[in-house]
Amino acid sequence: METVSENRSHGGTQGVYSHSSGQTGTEMTFSVFVPDHAEGAKLPVLWYLSGLTCTHANVTEKGEYRAACAEHGVIFVAPDTSPRGDDVPDAADEYDFGKGAGFYVDATQQPWSKHYRMRSYIESELSDLIASNFPVDMERQGITGHSMGGHGALTIGLRNADRFTSISAFSPIVAPSQVPWGEKALGRYLGDDRSAWREYDACALIEDSARHPNILVDQGTADNFLEEQLQTHRLAEACNAAGIDATIRMQEGYDHSYYFISTFMAEHVGWHAERLKA
């Protein structure tokens, strides 16, 4: 692991780091905010997964999470959305596929399967790297994300309910098997067998008996992707049918941008912190 930069901020250290990933076969970059803490202390960790076209930098620069993380003593980890590099296959004219659009899956189809292994990268490789290099208590983990990253947070959290105490999301793609963004990505990364898509679809996972006691979702009513791509109502319906007491809030007048995310970020950090300290 190499240090790209480290800066003091809000009573903590904001770092950006890189490493050579065995899962993606590329160099990967991620950011970590570590609040000041007593020597030898282990802190809970909140993972943040970014959305389409983003890198670790979007939330690091615009997410406004550091003051809340310092207040609650929570480490904040923000990985990239996909593998990067000249040798990584891409769809350069398609913002919703390829680089910047890894969808947090382990691709099975060529030419994507060699590098597009973001599920294993997040769930195992980067997790091990964080545990080895930062003062984290891996028994206290939460996960959140935005849009495509909200999809990632929901699916990774639901698949690993014993590991992630809390799950939240901003404007998530809740049923990618049923919307254009998801059908395109899952079909090309995973193939035509839709049964293979279900483990990457939050609503399908819940239908297939995945459960979690702590789910929070915020969705803006003025989000131009809400009706076609996000379809938050599907998650509410799936949770209701399964008896999951999820908190799903429609925030009047908010759009899909970081103006929305930064407005509610501190509340999400505090919500996770309460559950991670319980």
Whether cis (ω within 30° of 0) applies to the bond prior to 213 is no
Distances (CA, A) of 170 to 111, 123, 183, 249: 31, 20, 20, 10
Q: What angle do CA 201, 207, 212 make, to 5 degrees?
A: 80
CB 267 within 8 A of CB 258: no
Closest CA to 109 of 183, 184, 182, 191: 191
Q: Where are the alpha helices (DSSP H) in the chain?
A: 56-62, 66-72, 118-120, 126-133, 148-159, 180-190, 202-207, 232-242, 258-277
Catalytically annotated residue among 90, 106, 218, 223: 223
Please list, in sequence order, all residues whose beta carbon lies within 8 angstroms of the beta carbon of residue 36, skipping any fewer than 6 positions away. 11, 12, 70
Catalytically annotated residue among 147, 166, 168, 171: 147
> Known catalytic residue: 233?
no
> Known catalytic residue: 256?
yes
Residue 184 main-chain phi, psi, to 5 deg: -65, -50
DSSP 79-93: E-SS--STTS---TT
Q: How far is the C-alpha of 278 from the C-alpha of 230, rounded, in Å?
A: 31
> Known catalytic residue: 151?
no
Catalytically annotated residue among 146, 151, 256, 272: 256
What amino acid positions are annotated as catalytic residues?
A: 147, 223, 256
